[in-house]
Amino acid sequence: MGFHRSSIGRILDMYPCLLTSDLHLHLYPTFDFLFNEVEISFDDISRSITRCPRLLVSSVSHQLRPAFVFLKDLGFVGPHKLNYQTALLLVYNVERSLMGKIEFLMGLGFEFSEVKNMVVRAPGILTLSVDRNLGPKVDYFVREMNADLEELKKFPQFFSFSLERKIKPRHRMLVECGLKMPLSRMLKVNDGEFNARLFEMRLRMAEKS
């Protein structure tokens, strides 16, 4: 199936039960589902499972297929269909996990169609905890950044960045300089590029004064 030996060791270390699994009852159905239903290329199946070994121990009928149907309804089709990077979403329970993220975003006032667009553009949102991640980020965004939630529709990738290591430090630097920056410009670049942009903005502000 194209797995590297090191990956096999890691996978079996996580799920030793695979050593005694029946190939025809447990493994082949998963490979068949990923290849024929999800339509992940043969070369990428091993990459998908290496990223998320739990795929191999999840029931196709009770877990993977229901999640797949739900994700397709959300918009993970066509150019946005699941790939080796996003196949891990298949192991998240629809009712206990995926729906919670959707309901949280809709609770902020977004329409369902808007939420669908957000998660398709930033699939990582569906892997994050509402209590430990999404909630604190929205709270900081609204209370400290005093920003409009509409911005999150334009840049849902905001949720993928670390609150403590990136969002807070960069926002505080902007506040100290009396400057504002769109979320994408503030977060998508590395520290060096951000500092360069900040310097340029401060220079232009000084020239105007």
pLDDT tens-digit readout, 8-59: 999 999 999 999 999 998 899 999 999 999 999 999 999 999 999 999 999 9
As for how many domains the chain has, the answer is 1
Q: Which residues contact 57 (CB under 8 A, 6 or more apart)?
A: 15, 17, 18, 26
Q: Which domain holds residue 30?
A: 1-91
Let me know if residue 20 belongs to a domain.
Answer: yes
d(CA 96, CA 206): 52
Q: Which residues of the chain have pLDDT under 50?
A: none
Contacts of 60-64 with CB under 8 Å at 24 or more apart are 60/29, 60/30, 60/33, 63/90, 63/91, 63/93, 64/30, 64/33, 64/90, 64/91
Q: Is residue 117 within 8 Å of residue 102, measured between CB atoms?
A: no
Let me know if residue 199 belongs to a domain.
Answer: no
Let me know if residue 35 belongs to a domain.
Answer: yes
d(CA 138, CA 129): 12
Per-residue confidence (pLDDT) for residue 96, from 0 to 100: 93
Per-residue confidence (pLDDT) for residue 26, from 0 to 100: 87
Let me know if residue 54 belongs to a domain.
Answer: yes
Q: Which residues contact 128 (CB under 8 A, 6 or more apart)?
A: 101, 134, 159
Per-residue confidence (pLDDT) for residue 209, from 0 to 100: 67
Let me know if residue 45 belongs to a domain.
Answer: yes
Which region, left, alpha or beta, applies to residue 39 given φ > 0 means left and ψ of -120 to 50 means alpha? left
Q: Is residue 154 within 8 Å of residue 122, measured between CB atoms?
A: no
Could you tell me the pTM of the whole model? 0.89
Let me know if residue 82 belongs to a domain.
Answer: yes
